[in-house]
Amino acid sequence: MKAREIAAHAVHLMVLLLPTWLWVGLHGCDAWVFSFAGIVLLAAMLESRSVAVGSDSQPAQTQDPQAMRLAQLVGFALLLLFWCIQVEHHLAGLAMPWLQITGGLLLTLGTLLRVTAIRTLGTDFVTDIRAPAVRRAEGIYRWLAHPSELGLLLIIAGAPLLLAAPRCLLVACLFFVPTSLHRIRRENQVLNTSVA
C-alpha cells in the first residue's frame, strides 16, 4: 500500500469517527465503536483496492448522469448514517450484545458481498449505469443479480445494529431500501434492453 493510500484511509477514519471524537474523545471509544470503525475502514480499503485494479481502462464519460447523482447522494447519506449511529450509540448507551454481534456479522457480510461483486465484474463495475456487451452469470452473479446493492443494504442494516442504534436503523431503511430498489430497477431496464 502506497503512502498516499495510507494517508487517504487515515483521513477517512478521522472523518468517519468525527462525532465520536467530538462527543467523547478517543479515550471514550468503546469496543463496539472500534469494531465499527475497523470493519468500515477495512471495507473502504478492500473496495478501493478492488476498483483501482481496472480503473485506468474505464471510459471517463458518464452515460447516466442521474445514476451518478444518485450514487453521490447515497454516499453522502451513508456518511450521515454512520455519524448518526455514533451519536445515538453515545446518547442511548444501549447494550444488546447479541444484536450488536449480529450487526457486526451483517456489516462484514455486506462488505464481502460488495468486494466480491466488484472483483467479479472487474473493469465492468461502474457507478454509472451502462449496457454491458454480455450479461454476467459467473462468480457471485450466478446466484445474485445485484450483489453490490444487497451488500450495501446489509452494511446499512449492520452498522446501526452493531452500535445498538435502532432509530437510525429505521430511518436508514426508509431511505436506503427505496433508493436501492430504484437503482436495481434502472439497472435492470438497461440490462434487459441491451441483452434483448
pLDDT of residue 52: 61
Q: Which of 16-25, 61-70, 152-161 has the lowest mean pLDDT?
A: 61-70
What are the φ and ψ backbone dihedral angles of 62, each rounded to 5 degrees? -80, 130
User: Which pLDDT value is given to residue 57?
Assistant: 52
Q: At what angle do helices 65-92 and 3-16 cross, to 10 degrees?
A: 60
Weakest-pLDDT range from 18-32, 47-61, 85-99: 47-61
User: Can you tell me the mean pLDDT for 41-63?
Assistant: 70
pLDDT score recorded for residue 123: 76
Please tell me what DSSP assigns to residue 27: G
The pLDDT assigned to 28 comes to 74
- Alpha-carbon distance of 141 to 122, in angstroms, equals 13
152, containing H or E segment: helix 147-162
For the stretch 142-187, pLDDT in tens is: 999 889 999 999 999 999 999 999 999 999 999 999 999 998 998 8
HSE, side-chain direction, 13 A CA sphere, residue 170: 4
Closest CA to 78 of 112, 124, 110, 34: 110
pLDDT score for 136: 72
Write out pLDDT tens, residues 77-102. Answer: 999 999 999 999 999 988 899 999 99
Mean pLDDT of 54-63: 55
Task: Identify the H or E element spanning 50.
Answer: helix 31-52
All 3 cell numbers of residue 127?
457507478
pLDDT of residue 49: 82
Residue 58 scores a pLDDT above 60: no
What value does the mean pLDDT take over residues 8-12?
A: 92
Could you give the CA distance from residue 89 to residue 86 in angstroms, rounded to a whole number? 5
Looking at every residue in the chain, the average pLDDT score rounds to: 87
pLDDT for 65 beyond 70:
yes
